[in-house]
Chains A and B, each alone.
Chain A
Amino acid sequence: MIKSSKTGLSWPKEYRENIGPIAQLRKALKLGGGRDVSNGQLFLLATVIAFNEGKIAKEKSPAAGNSVRVPDLQDSQRRLLEAIAVATQQSRKVLLTEDEVFEIAERYAAEGLKILFEAKESRTNDDFALYVSSEVYSAMKANQA
């Protein structure tokens, strides 16, 4: 695989300068005490949600990353993004360039964010957080069948 030169994965263009709403989303996803949900958790969550719904952004994300630092990605997280890329392209050839794998993930994450913001609109923070985790749980359960 040709390694990516990116140091980080990116949120969509609209959050290039102002990531306030994303910070609020991370805060809203927190339940009880402790720290807010990390950028990495939110990125993966958004990616998976959009992938499961078959929604992928047409536009590429900005080159400079402001979401997850690439060196911070764990092996299992890299494999997850690679598998999503293979499933999206229906070809293992996507594994040849890391940039393409990341780009696919970024386009899903962009759509995933929209879905999350929409879900947040009609709910209180706690209800929204519980709604998201119940969706994650349901999706996990569906995989056990």
Chain B
Amino acid sequence: MKLTRAEFMHFKILDAVNIQFDVAQTNIFFVNGFNGRGKTSFQDALYWCLYGRAPEDGVANRHALAKKTGGPLEVSAIFEFKLEDDDFESVEIRRTTEVTMEKGFQRTKNARLSILGRNPGESSFTQPVANEEQWIHRRFPDGLQQFFLFDGESLEKFFVNTTKERIGTAVREIAGVEAFEGIETKLGLVINEWRKQLAKGSQSGTAVSSEVKRQKYQRAAEDSRASIAAADRVIADLEKELAEIDLYFERFGNNAGLLQEETEIRRRISSLKAEIQGQKFEQHNRLLSEGIEFAVQRKIIEDVVREKEDAIRNDEYPPQFSENLMKKILELGRCVCGEQVPSGSEKHRVLEKLIHEHRDVDAIGQDLQKLSAYAEYWPSLSASTFHGFSEQSKTIAEKVGEMKELEGKLEDLQARLMGGDREEQQAKVERKKKLPYEISSAETERNKAVEQREWALVEVKSLEKSIEKLTKSSSANAKVSGFIARAEALNQAARLAHRAAVDSVRTNLEEAVDEEFKVIKTGAFKTQITDDFEVRTVASDGGNVKLSSGENMMKAYVFALALRKVIGFKFPLVIDTPFGRLDSENRKRLVDMITRLNSTKGTEHGNQVIFLMHDLEYTPQIKETFSPNKPVEMYLAYQKEEEVSQVHEGIDPAWQQADSWKGWKGK
């Protein structure tokens, strides 16, 4: 299978782009470009077209979407493949959708997938493929995509991300395990029928009932086996889901922490708001009941003090004159000093006049005395009352400050969370929390089923022995027993063949990895794929060989290519940043490996390789190494005004300004 054409309309940075891959000329294609020119968009388009998985930042070209008025923007990606030994000579896979901008996010609707086929002699794609999703799944298995569509940067984590379960599934599919399992089931039914006949033939009621029981336990054992298999599938699915969530977070960033933080900040802000409001209300009410007295200008106190001082200067303060006392003296006719003041006397008249004159001064003095006491006390009371309010205001200000800081943080967090589908992320965070419990629960169910199966099998064996004792020896019985023995032998053989098929695929895979990896790494080691499909590199003593980071990346390449070889998988190898973090030596090895992959077979049958590289990867030296394969070089050139990239053949002229290409004389 070869990719012969890729066409994009308004897809991210690739707008009105048509790339032709001339597979008659070569199997090696390079789509080069500086960062941000659309290399990853090419892979994103392939993901989207085949699996409907849209990139996180949306499918539409931003510039085209911004300019679009009066309806949604239609986005499409088309990939044309030349097929081998298939229903058609070529197919055109087309995915389209309508995009609108809503609240800063791209919203898609009316997504459609269509696959049209073309036969030899036909000029256009006219024959629709039924059940498109299934057609794609058969030819581009979702579970195997990481063996043909990946990013070289992520190779270091290949054996971490690539779950053993996926390798296991691939191996079991290749080995055709389902066919062997079908044989076992059918033979089991026949054996049971014969056993029933045998028990009836024994003429013993006990033998018949024991056979009924035996079959019941055998069914229980089979049911338990089915339960174990079902539990295994559930566990595998849950683990796959967990791995996909991890992969999702690895690709788009794990926002679980941020979302949790956002919730906590919101909760704290809400609690602070309530606290601040409560304290403000309380302070307000106290200010109106206790504060007004001290809100009046201090000048009034100064005026009272001034009046008091003036009264002192005028001998009016403190009040020494009492009108009532003076009147009593006059009534008694005798002064406190002992002198007689008889009524009608001159002294009596003088005193009477004085009393009238000073009466008001005395009254004022008495009130002034009370007022002065108040004025004296007012400053300290005012200070202590204000202190109380001031402390409360500080507490409120601190809380307001904390709230503002949190609001700033919240804004930052929200900015960091923008661009992602928050609901989707939140759902994944929640799902990730629940999955370990679901896995543990499924494992408990599996263990229960294992126990039940073991118990049922013990019962089956024991009943078989007792039936054997009860069965009379006769020629008819001997015949049936012979059938049973042969059928069981066949069943055992099917099981062994099933095991052998898996082992054979595993061995082929081990050998294919070993063969290629030995070219890369010298030393006494071999590749081992364990029963649970872990890919190990082991020394002669069985211990793990420690691999460098570069060797691990190369092993991942080797494994991906070996699996393709064993499966006979022909999808082009599309790799973004293929050299990833490989050093120059390993880069050379990778080039050799790719070259071998294509040089051993003619162009028509070789593996198609599409590398998406930047200027520091595809250097003049790498170009030179690849030259015997006559690769087709293309580059993505950016048009700033339109925010799109166009594809041209050759090397980007702008690369000659880059350090890695300075001095390159070619064109």
Contact = CB atoms under 8 A, between A and B. Distances in A.
A interface, size bucket: 35 or more
B27 to A, nearest CB: 75
Given A37-B288, A41-B289, A95-B371, A52 B389 contact: no
A48 B294 CA distance: 9
Nearest to A144: B386
Interface string A125-138: 00001101101110
B293 A96 contact: no
B interface, size bucket: 35 or more
Interface in A52-101: 52, 76-77, 79-80, 82-84, 86-87, 90-93, 95-96
Contacts of A80: 293, 296
Interface stretch (B94-102, B129-137, B141-149, B361-369): B361-369
A20 B282 CA distance: 26
Contact of A87 (B285, B300, B367): B300
A79 B294 CA distance: 12
A31 interface: yes
Instruction: Tell me if B's interface is mostly helix, strand, loop or mixed.
Output: helix
Nearest to B390: A141
Interface of B: 278, 280-285, 287-289, 291-301, 303-304, 307-308, 310-311, 360, 363-364, 366-368, 370-371, 374-375, 382-383, 385-386, 389-390, 393
A116 to B, nearest CB: 12
Contact of A133 (B287, B311, B363): B287
B645 to A, nearest CB: 56
B382 A144 contact: yes
A45 interface: yes
A83 B284 contact: no
Given A79-B371, A129-B284, A137-B287, 16 more contacts: A32-B282, A45-B288, A51-B300, A79-B374, A83-B296, A83-B301, A86-B300, A92-B307, A92-B310, A92-B364, A96-B363, A132-B288, A133-B291, A137-B389, A139-B295, A140-B386
Contact of B374 (A1, A76, A136, A139): A76
Contacts of A137: 283, 287, 291, 389, 393
A31 B371 contact: no
Contacts of B283: 133, 137
Instruction: Tell me if A's interface is mostly helix, strand, loop or mixed.
Output: helix
B191 to A, nearest CB: 84
A18 interface: no
Contacts of A76: 293, 374
A83 B363 contact: no
A83 B297 contact: no
B287 A93 contact: no
Contacts of A45: 288, 292
Nearest to A76: B293
Interface string A98-136: 000000000000000000000000000000011011011
A99 B44 CA distance: 91
A69 B217 CA distance: 99
Contacts of A34: 285
A86 B303 contact: yes
A135 B390 CA distance: 14
Contact of B382 (A32, A86, A140): A140
Nearest to A54: B297
